[in-house]
Amino acid sequence: METKIIEFEKIDLKNPILIEGLPGIGLIGKIAVEYLISELKAKKFAELYSPHFPHQVIIEKDSSLRLLRYEFYYHKGKKDLIILTGDIQVPPTDSYGHYEVVKKILDFSEKYGVKEIYTLGGYSTGGKRVKEPKVLASGTDQKIIKRFSGIDPSMIFREDIGAAIVGASGLLLALGKLRNFTGLCLLGESSGFVIEPKAARSVLHSLTKILEIDISLEGLEKKIKENEEIIGKLQKFQEKVIEEEINREKEREMEYIR
Amino acid sequence: METKIIEFEKIDLKNPILIEGLPGIGLIGKIAVEYLISELKAKKFAELYSPHFPHQVIIEKDSSLRLLRYEFYYHKGKKDLIILTGDIQVPPTDSYGHYEVVKKILDFSEKYGVKEIYTLGGYSTGGKRVKEPKVLASGTDQKIIKRFSGIDPSMIFREDIGAAIVGASGLLLALGKLRNFTGLCLLGESSGFVIEPKAARSVLHSLTKILEIDISLEGLEKKIKENEEIIGKLQKFQEKVIEEEINREKEREMEYIR
Amino acid sequence: METKIIEFEKIDLKNPILIEGLPGIGLIGKIAVEYLISELKAKKFAELYSPHFPHQVIIEKDSSLRLLRYEFYYHKGKKDLIILTGDIQVPPTDSYGHYEVVKKILDFSEKYGVKEIYTLGGYSTGGKRVKEPKVLASGTDQKIIKRFSGIDPSMIFREDIGAAIVGASGLLLALGKLRNFTGLCLLGESSGFVIEPKAARSVLHSLTKILEIDISLEGLEKKIKENEEIIGKLQKFQEKVIEEEINREKEREMEYIR
Amino acid sequence: METKIIEFEKIDLKNPILIEGLPGIGLIGKIAVEYLISELKAKKFAELYSPHFPHQVIIEKDSSLRLLRYEFYYHKGKKDLIILTGDIQVPPTDSYGHYEVVKKILDFSEKYGVKEIYTLGGYSTGGKRVKEPKVLASGTDQKIIKRFSGIDPSMIFREDIGAAIVGASGLLLALGKLRNFTGLCLLGESSGFVIEPKAARSVLHSLTKILEIDISLEGLEKKIKENEEIIGKLQKFQEKVIEEEINREKEREMEYIR
């Protein structure tokens, strides 16, 4: 079996921008992107399935079951968008699967004429609470880094040489760079142990500046409160994942090798 | 090497229904399906072999040895059936193999004109003994869920949104759904730690209502007692597997991510 | 990269019989086969390399290095033989690799007209010392099992239904059976913790009866004493491997699932 | 996705010699090769990317991110050189990936007319400090071993039969040997726990004798001092890796199996 993307409708988009927010540290990328989808009333048009995802299925509200998956939404506006989120990331034990799935996403993006990619996620402070979470940014190239320097005071371009970004947010841009995609990776500071809507808000704030779109971020915390039960489950689940991620990241911080 | 299915005879079946019962929690699916095979005197017509199974072989009664395998039986009746059971499931460390093997089973089913799939298994209560095991049902779509709602008072359609089903019983339906198969997953409640014939009985009871077949379930417990020694071995083996499954399931219960 | 077999010379063999003895419990298969090679002055004619072997190389006597490998020897006689041994088995974490490598060996055997396969190995008693090690035999089919019943009083056809044979010795026969090879698996009883030449001797004794060849087994223990230092290293290494094998086997003994 | 090599420029080299120094025990190979690159002012002309590398990206000085990669440099001189270094080795859990990546490097080398390969690395003494680190050498064949015997008093051809070399340094030569490459593996003695410039210096000294090139090694220790901070990070990271390597190596020392 191969990783494959099923499209529900063929849509016509004009050089859409790809926004990615998959589960990760603090669930920040996913929360930010889901809020964006809901605010923009973006419409789902494709799903990605992969044998590199865990061999389990999920029960839905109506007693139906479904595979784990990624979802592609689109929004037509001043700038057309493709927004990617999903249930999970490929397990950390399957590096090959990570590369494979990201490759498929880039193939798909290319087909739709995507040239810019923005990936959203969290940056773990290793447990330290952050009052005003900054957004740590890195990019595919100097041109895009300069283009967006200074547009948001809370967005800081990273200087921690040799630091690592683990998973889809990094791979999409670094693999994409070899295929002439340009883009930024925006990571919201997070203690890592609880879901901090503030970090998702910071990341979204930077993104709206970049995309020059106008959406209210007021609803973000409210939305999160409404879904407290589900988020509670997510939180406990994430704690485990995060713990592992942090441990792994600690090791990786020492991994500057070049 | 590839996963492959060897057919002993070409049989002519009329839109057969696929019933799956592979080893899993409480061995419920496998016990139920083996009883069904024996009661219906279903005949084996195909075997599946896979390099994703463990690299070991099994000694038979006559000192011969054979690969680990899945077995396909058929039964012609008011409704034709293909019944699938096997020695093992793909190991939990090989998600890719799970998807691959399930894909082959769906290819095979398609070839025979299968449109409906019923998968049988256990639902671990995490050690809690259950006097009257319920059957927790989920399905590929609303049509089939509605069709069978209320046909068996002990069969309850699940409302635990975000819960996971691990392994072949879930994957067959969720992958099958993408290829227009319809079907239900029936999981009998089980403490998880011992083999509970009652749970297999509950599952089989729901299945006979669904299939509108008439088999006596009286023999089920007797059958199990006759095979006590083998079941004893199975029990010890299963305890290990179940322990791991439960631990994994606990984590997964928190895994609602969408 | 693929598993591949490099042939040094094209030899003409008349329906050769394949004898396999790779490292495993008590090193019995490997010791038996290496003694056979040396007594028959069998000549190496091919080597197998695989990316499923560990990613390490070995230093030779002359400071040269080489890949881990399997070796094929041939012997022309009343019955032509192909004898297979090697440095290692595929790691237990790579089931797929086990199937893949065994498939290549069967392809190679088929090309040379092999119809019969005898695999040699050890059977762990779980630490219990055995004074007169028996040979536990199993086979691909009733015909060959009957053919050799009673030819050697110390060779006993197994009745431990559901027991497992792990690794190449089992897979070669069980996968081979699907391709019309016939053969026996001969496992010498061994405490599992030390190398017991006696077990290798028992296995070889049964094999000479089967092959109707006449070689002295006197040299076996002498040979082993000569190589005590190397065997000492092997012993320590094997102890680890065996411990793991035994633990795994214990679990597998309970694994009768059918 | 496949392992692939991206070339920036097509260069014309005359039977270049491949020098490899990837991260490993004591970082010796990488340090030696990077010093060589800097002294020779070698120019990068190609990069290798692989889905068998970890699924993470690295932040650069200018806030840009990039994939983990291997780098090929060239130097034109009396003898043309291709020098290979990189961020990481394929993880020890992915033997298949090791073989795959090494195969691609050999394909690439063949295309450029490489016939000789020298691989540099460390040899762990298991914690024992070494005052004057020796270079332990092994080779693809007797011809090259004899050719370089005695050219450097501190270079000793290994006699530890059955010892293992883990990773790219060994595989490049042993896989290469099957394709008619010739070469030596030079491992500098190292306690294994800290980076010892002396070991890298010993290895480079032997290499300059082999290549008959004249570079000052004075700068090596100075260079290392200049980069103390980065090396500090590397050291901590390496300690972990080394610990694992040593444990694995201890087991492997007992692994003489032939």
| pLDDT given for residue C198 in this prediction | 86
Q: Do D52 and A100 touch (CB under 8 A)?
A: no
Q: Are there at least 3 beta-carbon pairs closer than 8 Å between C and B?
A: yes
Query: What is the ipTM, given to two decimal places?
Result: 0.90
Query: Which amino acid belongs to residue C116?
Result: E
| pLDDT given for residue C253 in this prediction | 41
| pLDDT given for residue B256 in this prediction | 34
The superfamily (CATH) of domain B4-253 is: PAC-like subunit (3.40.50.10900)
The mean of the pLDDT values for chain D is: 88
| pLDDT given for residue A126 in this prediction | 79
Tracing tokens 């293909």 back to the chain, one arrives at B82
CA dist list (Å): D39 to B181, C182, C239, D32: 66, 64, 49, 11
Q: Are there at least 3 beta-carbon pairs closer than 8 Å between B and A?
A: yes
Chain C residue with the nearest C-alpha to that of B56: C166
Say which range, A224-233, B149-158, D7-16, has the weakest mean pLDDT.
A224-233
| pLDDT given for residue A42 in this prediction | 98
> How far apart, in whole angstroms, are the C-alpha atoms of residue A55 and residue B168?
8
Rounded mean pLDDT, A147-162 = 95
| pLDDT given for residue B235 in this prediction | 55
SS3 B47: strand
Q: Do C59 and D96 touch (CB under 8 A)?
A: no
Q: Is the pLDDT of residue B229 over 70?
A: no
> How far apart, in whole angstroms, are the C-alpha atoms of residue D106 and residue D102?
6
Between A218 and A85, name the one with better pLDDT: A85
Rounded mean pLDDT, B62-79 = 97
CA dist list (Å): A190 to A88, A129, A206, C127: 19, 7, 16, 54
Of C61, C64, C237, the CB nearest to D255: C237
- D interface with C, Cβ–Cβ < 8 A, is 90, 92, 95-96, 98-100, 103, 137-142, 145, 157-167, 170-171, 173-175, 177-178, 185, 251-258
Of C52, C61, C62, the CB nearest to D95: C52
Confidence band (pLDDT; 50, 70, 90) for D198? confident
- CA atoms within 13 Å, Cβ hemisphere of D128: 8
SS3 D89: coil
What is the share, in percent, of chain A residues with pLDDT greater than 70?
Answer: 86
For residue C65, what are its two tokens? 């290095």
Say which range, A195-209, A225-239, D8-22, has the weakest mean pLDDT.
A225-239
Rounded mean pLDDT, A181-203 = 88
CB neighbours of A250 closer than 8 A, spacing ≥ 6?
A126
Q: How many CB atoms lie within 10 A of CB A255?
A: 26
| pLDDT given for residue C248 in this prediction | 52
Q: Inter-axis angle of helices C218-226 and C28-40, to 10 degrees? A: 110
Of A139, A178, A258, the CB nearest to D87: A258
- D interface with A, Cβ–Cβ < 8 A, is 1, 6, 23, 30, 49, 51-67, 87-88, 91, 94, 97, 230, 233-234, 236-237, 240
| pLDDT given for residue D153 in this prediction | 96
Chain B residue with the nearest C-alpha to that of C158: B63
> How far apart, in whole angstroms, are the C-alpha atoms of residue C29 and residue C21?
4
What is the share, in percent, of chain B residues with pLDDT greater than 70?
Answer: 86
- CATH code of the domain made up of A11-253: 3.40.50.10900
Of B1, B62, B63, the CB nearest to C103: B1
C-alpha D199, offset from chain centre: 13
CA dist list (Å): D110 to B134, D14, D105, D114: 66, 12, 9, 5
Provide the shortest C-alpha distance from residue A237 to chain B (in Å). 5
Q: Is C105 exposed, middle or buried (0-12, 13-18, 19+ CB in 10 A)?
A: buried
Q: Which tens digit of pLDDT belongs to each residue from A9-67?
A: 889 999 999 999 999 888 899 999 999 999 999 999 999 999 999 999 999 999 999 99
For residue B21, what are its two tokens? 């019962």
Q: What residues of A are in contact with residue B99 (Cβ under 8 Å)?
A: 1, 51, 55
Q: What residues of C are in contact with residue D250 (Cβ under 8 Å)?
A: none
| pLDDT given for residue B226 in this prediction | 66
Subunits with at least 3 CB pairs below 8 A relative to chain B? A, C
Q: Which tens digit of pLDDT belongs to each residue from D65-90?
A: 999 999 999 999 999 999 999 999 99
| pLDDT given for residue D249 in this prediction | 46
> How far apart, in whole angstroms, are the C-alpha atoms of residue C47 and residue C8?
8
Rounded mean pLDDT, D178-187 = 98
Q: Which tens digit of pLDDT belongs to each residue from D5-21?
A: 999 988 999 999 999 99
| pLDDT given for residue C234 in this prediction | 55
Q: Which of D31, D38, D64 to mutate to test the interface with A (most CBs of A within 10 A)?
A: D64
Q: Do B142 and A49 touch (CB under 8 A)?
A: no
Confidence band (pLDDT; 50, 70, 90) for B44? very high
Tracing tokens 């971020």 back to the chain, one arrives at A217
Q: Where are the beta strands (DSSP E) in chain B?
A: 4-7, 17-20, 43-49, 56-59, 65-67, 70-75, 81-86, 116-124, 135-139, 155-157, 164-166, 182-190
User: Is the CB of residue C66 less than 8 Å from the CB of residue D175?
Assistant: no
> Chains A and D: how many Cβ contacts under 8 Å?
108
Distance separating the N- and C-terminal Cα atoms of chain D: 36
> How far apart, in whole angstroms, are the C-alpha atoms of residue B52 and residue D162?
32
Q: Are there at least 3 beta-carbon pairs closer than 8 Å between C and D?
A: yes
Chain D residue with the nearest C-alpha to that of C49: D175
Q: Which tens digit of pLDDT belongs to each residue from C93-118?
A: 899 999 999 999 999 999 999 999 99
Of D1, D56, D240, the CB nearest to A100: D1
Which of A233-237, C185-189, D91-95 has the highest average model confidence (pLDDT)? C185-189
